[in-house]
Amino acid sequence: MSNVAKDSLRTRLLQLECHFTWDLLKEDIALQDLEERVCNQIQFLTTKSKATSYNLLAYTRYLQGHNEEALESLGKAEKEIQGEDASRAEVRSVVTWGNLAWMHYHTDHLAEAQAYADKVECVCRALSGPFPCKVEWAEVLSEEGWALLTFGFKYYERAKACFEKALKQEPNNPEFNSGFAIAIYRLENIASGNSPADAPSLQALRRAVRLNPDDTPVQVFLGLRLQDVNREAEGEKYIQEALERMSSVPYVLRYAAKFYRRKGALEKSLQLLDEAARFTPTSGFVHHQKGLCYRAQINKIKKATNYQPRGRDKDDLKELISLATIQFEKFVEKKPKFVFAYIDLANMYAEGIDYENAEVNFQKVLRLEKLTDGEKQQIHLNYGRFQEFHRKSQASALHHYLEGLKIKRESQEREKLKRAVHRLVSRGRRRNPADAESLGLLRSLGQLSREGD
Tell me the domain boundaries of the chain.
Answer: 1-135, 139-247, 252-353, 371-452
Question: Containing H/E element for 407?
Answer: none
**245 vs 316, higher pLDDT:** 316
**403 vs 2, higher pLDDT:** 403
Neighbours of 312 (CB within 10 A): 9
Q: What is the pLDDT of residues 323-359, one digit of tens each?
A: 999 999 999 999 998 999 999 999 999 999 999 999 9
Q: What is the mean pLDDT of the chain?
A: 92
Q: What is the pLDDT of residue 134?
A: 63
**434 vs 30, higher pLDDT:** 30
Out of 245-249, 276-280, 372-376, 390-394, least confident range: 245-249
At a CB cut-off of 8 Å and minimum separation 6, what does 434 contact? Answer: none
Instruction: Report, in angstroms and rounded to the nearest whole number, the Rg of the chain calculated over CA atoms.
Output: 25
Q: What is the pLDDT of residue 449?
A: 57
Name the nearest CA neighbour of 217 among 178, 189, 258, 190.
178
Q: What is the pLDDT of residue 437?
A: 55
Name the nearest CA neighbour of 26 among 35, 16, 39, 18.
35
Q: What is the pLDDT of residues 123-159, one digit of tens each?
A: 988 887 676 776 689 999 999 999 999 999 999 999 9
Q: How many helices (H) and strands (E) does the chain have?
A: 22, 0
pLDDT confidence tier of residue 452, bands split at 50, 70 and 90: low
DSSP letter, residue 88? G
Concatenate the DSSP letters of all residues of 97-164 into one string.
Answer: HHHHHHHHHHTT-HHHHHHHHHHHHHHHHHHTSSSSP-S--HHHHHHHHHHHHHT-GGGHHHHHHHHH
pTM: 0.92
d(CA 32, CA 64): 8
Exposed, middle or buried, 311 (CB in 10 Å: 0-12/13-18/19+)? exposed
CATH 1.10.1060.10 describes domain 1-135:
no
CA distances from 314 to 68, 238, 291, 301, 302 (A): 54, 38, 19, 9, 9
Tell me which range, 43-52, 255-264, 414-423, is most confidently predicted by mean pLDDT: 255-264
pLDDT above 60: residue 453: no
Q: What is the pLDDT of residues 227-276, one digit of tens each?
A: 999 999 999 999 999 999 886 689 999 999 999 999 999 999 999 999 99
At a CB cut-off of 8 Å and minimum separation 6, what does 301 contact? Answer: 309, 313, 316, 317, 320
Decide whether 1-135 matches 139-247 in CATH topology: yes
Q: Are 124 and 131 in contact (CB under 8 A)?
A: yes
Q: Are 162 and 142 in contact (CB under 8 A)?
A: yes
Distance of CA 78 to the CA centre of its chain: 28
The share of the chain scoring above pLDDT 70, in percent, equals 92
Neighbours of 22 (CB within 10 A): 19
Q: What is the pLDDT of residue 272?
A: 96
Q: What is the pLDDT of residue 441?
A: 61
State the CATH class of domain 139-247: mainly alpha
pLDDT above 90: residue 31: yes
d(CA 453, CA 446): 11
CA distances from 362 to 126, 400, 406 (A): 57, 12, 19
At residue 174's C-alpha, the angle toward residues 210 and 249, to 5°, is: 80
CA distances from 25 to 11, 60, 334 (A): 20, 10, 18
d(CA 138, CA 164): 10
**437 vs 212, higher pLDDT:** 212
Q: What is the pLDDT of residue 439?
A: 55
Q: What is the pLDDT of residue 248?
A: 65
Q: Are 99 and 55 in contact (CB under 8 A)?
A: yes
**207 vs 370, higher pLDDT:** 207
At a CB cut-off of 8 Å and minimum separation 6, what does 206 contact? Answer: 222
Q: What is the pLDDT of residues 191-218, one digit of tens each?
A: 866 677 788 999 999 999 999 998 999 9
User: Sign of torsion, CA 126 131 134 139?
Assistant: positive
Q: What is the pLDDT of residues 86-108, one digit of tens each?
A: 778 899 999 999 999 999 999 99
State the CATH class of domain 252-353: mainly alpha
pLDDT above 90: residue 224: yes
At residue 49's C-alpha, the angle toward residues 247 and 70, to 5°, is: 120
